[in-house]
């Protein structure tokens, strides 16, 4: 692996709606442990160890989660660029290139989606080493996956003249084809799957972006100039980002440049874009089944069953996907899972919130689980990480009663400060300024009972917050 002068750029946006109900807007698939003990983001960060300090692009709502997941695998040096809204991959890549250019660094950007699965990492590194030879000479490189089946869910890249090392000039990018066209591509042998992975010199990329999409280059530079820099975070302002044209790097640059190259890649690649592709990627039992979590199967074939909250039992089913979460269950045939995004659209249209967040919600200080609710009351189980603290806040429409289940809590309530241990409680009336802190070395767990006329999460007025919210 040639690690010289390569800066990984990890694209960690997207909501992964086809993997609902596990993947949701506030906890998308790249943040989930779908293929092992680590999240997909963590697997991506692991495969670029040895390169320069990575730059991670993510939604502003996910920036603390991204940082936490990086720290969990021992990654200490990284930069997070937090986007208030997504504008596709061209602005995202531009932000990373501008960040390096602003620091007078000249590096080759290895652009990787955070939610892809690669089985053979050594082949991936070999392809990167080959691509680096072209990137360092001003080439814009993408990695084309050698197709194994006539997939209709991927875009394709048509190769042109061959260069040294088996690298090809790019003739054209092709949209997702229908089945007949995809089969034609496979027969002709001139096409690769478009992996969405790239390698190019940061300065050359900015030159090409200015030449082919100057409006994106200029608006992205302006947004980065005005960005708020704090610790490892670069926070972009929504007023600057929303005016940037929304385009992929494929459309903005790669389809227009005459410097495009494609490096063939055979490494067991998958974008894990649906439940069926996850089933394809995971090991199976003798009947072709994948069982994740608390699952018992009897006389089942070629099915994926995911149990999260309950025991899930399946009997006599074939080619099914069954996914259980704390607040939703999906049952679908494997050949219909591409349509799960239609279910998500209907949930949204109905004004429900199961597309937005799980019952258990991750926060910078820990997490909470809404375990019960009814008219004018709600019960949550709150976990505060060691040394963490909630914001200093008030509520206009609800009171709260906290009972410590495990650990020690420091409670600020107006001008008084209380220390609570297990089985002790405190009452927070409506309109009282308060804060909860865990001073201990173990997680603090409390049961919170909310009562009032309105119990929404937007009934929070913050006065001080160590996380800058």
User: Is the Cα dihedral 233, 84, 226, 249 positive or negative?
Assistant: positive
Q: What was the pLDDT predicted at 3? A: 61
Element (H, E) at 170: strand 168-174
pTM: 0.89
Q: What was the pLDDT predicted at 469? A: 75
Helix (H, G, I), strand (E, B) or coil at 287: coil
Q: What was the pLDDT predicted at 21? A: 96
Domains of the chain: 6-270 (3.90.550.10), 275-349 (no CATH), 360-464 (2.60.120.10)
Alpha helices in 179-247 (DSSP H): 179-188, 202-212, 214-226, 238-241
Helix (H, G, I), strand (E, B) or coil at 349: helix
Q: What was the pLDDT predicted at 1? A: 46
Q: What was the pLDDT predicted at 357? A: 86
Element (H, E) at 407: none
- CA-angle at 63, arms to 409 and 436, nearest 5°: 15
Q: What was the pLDDT predicted at 231? A: 76
Task: Give the chain's length.
Answer: 469
Q: Could you tell me the mean pLDDT of each successive run of 10 residues in the chain, 469 residues long?
A: 79 90 93 91 95 95 93 94 96 95 82 95 95 94 94 91 85 92 93 96 96 97 94 92 96 95 94 92 94 95 93 97 95 93 95 90 92 94 96 96 97 96 97 96 97 92 86
Q: What was the pLDDT predicted at 4? A: 59
């Amino acid at each position: 692996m040639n690690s010289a002068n390569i800066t990984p750029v990890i694209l960690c946006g997207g909501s992964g709606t086809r993997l609902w109900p596990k993947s949701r807007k506030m906890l998308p698939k790249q943040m989930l442990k779908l293929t092992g003990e680590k999240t997909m983001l963590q697997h991506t960060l692991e495969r670029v160890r040895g390169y320069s300090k990575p730059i991670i692009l993510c939604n502003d709502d996910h920036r603390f989660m991204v940082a936490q997941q990086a720290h969990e695998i021992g990654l200490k040096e990284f930069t997070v660029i937090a986007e208030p809204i997504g504008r596709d991959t061209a602005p995202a890549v531009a932000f990373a290139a501008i960040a390096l250019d602003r620091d007078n660094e000249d590096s080759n950007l290895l652009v990787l989606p955070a939610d892809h699965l690669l089985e053979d990492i050594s082949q991936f590194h070999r392809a990167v080493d080959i691509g680096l030879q072209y990137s360092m000479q001003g080439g814009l490189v993408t990695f084309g996956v050698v197709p194994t089946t006539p997939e209709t869910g991927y875009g394709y890249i048509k190769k042109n003249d061959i260069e040294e090392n088996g690298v090809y000039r790019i003739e054209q990018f092709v949209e997702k084809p229908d089945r007949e066209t995809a089969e034609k591509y496979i027969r002709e042998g001139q096409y690769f799957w478009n992996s969405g992975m790239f390698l190019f010199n940061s300065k050359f990329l900015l030159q090409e972006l200015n030449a082919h999409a100057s409006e994106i280059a200029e608006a992205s530079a302006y947004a980065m100039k005005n960005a708020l820099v704090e610790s490892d975070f670069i926070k972009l302002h929504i007023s600057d980002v929303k005016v940037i044209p929304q385009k992929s790097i494929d459309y903005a640059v790669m389809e227009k440049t005459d410097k495009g190259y494609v490096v063939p890649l055979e490494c067991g690649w998958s974008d894990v874009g649906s439940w069926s592709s996850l089933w394809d990627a995971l090991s199976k039992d003798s009947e072709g089944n994948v069982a994740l979590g608390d699952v018992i199967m009897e006389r089942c074939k070629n099915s994926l069953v995911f149990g999260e909250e309950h025991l899930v039992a399946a009997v006599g089913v074939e080619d099914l996907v069954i996914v259980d979460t704390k607040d939703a269950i999906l049952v679908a045939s494997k050949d219909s899972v591409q349509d799960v995004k239609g279910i998500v659209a209907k949930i949204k249209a109905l004004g429900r919130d199961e597309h937005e967040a799980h019952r258990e919600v991750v926060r910078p200080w820990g997490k909470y689980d809404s375990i019960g609710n009814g008219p004018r009351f709600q019960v949550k189980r709150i976990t505060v990480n060691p040394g963490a603290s909630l914001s200093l806040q008030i509520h206009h429409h609800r009171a709260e009663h906290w009972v410590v289940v495990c650990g020690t809590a420091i409670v600020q309530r107006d001008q008084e400060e209380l220390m609570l241990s297990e089985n002790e409680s405190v009452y927070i009336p409506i309109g009282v300024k308060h804060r909860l802190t865990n001073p201990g070395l173990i997680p603090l767990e409390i049961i919170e009972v909310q009562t009032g006329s309105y119990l929404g999460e937007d009934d929070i007025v913050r006065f001080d917050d160590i996380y800058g919210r």
